[in-house]
Amino acid sequence: MSVINTATTAIIAALSAAPAVSATIDRVRLRPFGKTTVDAVVVTPTRSSAMDPPTLIGLPMAWETEIAVQCLARVAGSSPDVAVDALLASVYARIMSDPTLSGYVQSVSPIRVDYAYEAADENIVCATLLLSVRVVTNSANI
């Protein structure tokens, strides 16, 4: 398994552990947000960079992988940013409660939160928590 897959899978497992942060937790959003869905979480790797690669194959090497965790909520009677706030807080608390994700990664650090607002007829807000996930592996592996 690649470091990117390891990081993504570990975050999904943490968010899915009982009680799950949402009834809908997906890996990479390939389908539209359902009309009856109240909220959802989508975990997507965005990029991975080798950190100080060793000169010899087989030595330990760290990878920094950026993972976007989209928190989507349907707006119903509240301000759009308020509608997604509880889900974002729950996702953040779950991930940061174990920043090694049960030992699968070396560390998880928050980078930023971005907001996006869907067309008015959809009434959906998305808060994307961008994380930096550090994984150390043998330099012969990705």
The 3-state secondary structure of 48-60 reads EEEECCCCCCCCE
Instruction: Give the pairing of strands 60-74 and 25-27.
Output: unpaired
- 3-state DSSP call for residue 106? coil
**Domain residues for 27?**
3-138
Spell out the per-residue pLDDT of the chain, length 142, in tens.
Answer: 798 999 999 999 999 999 999 999 999 976 667 788 889 999 999 999 988 777 777 788 899 999 999 999 988 777 888 889 999 999 999 999 999 999 999 999 999 999 998 766 678 899 999 999 999 888 777 8
pTM (2 decimals)?
0.90
What are the tokens at 142? 């990705």
Closest to 92 (Cα-Cα) out of 70, 74, 73: 70
Assign residue 55 the CATH number of its domain: 3.30.70.1700
Q: How many domains does the chain have?
A: 1
Q: Do the beta carbons of residue 106 and residue 51 sit within 8 Å?
A: no
What are the tokens at 3? 């470091």
Closest to 130 (Cα-Cα) out of 6, 1, 11, 5: 11
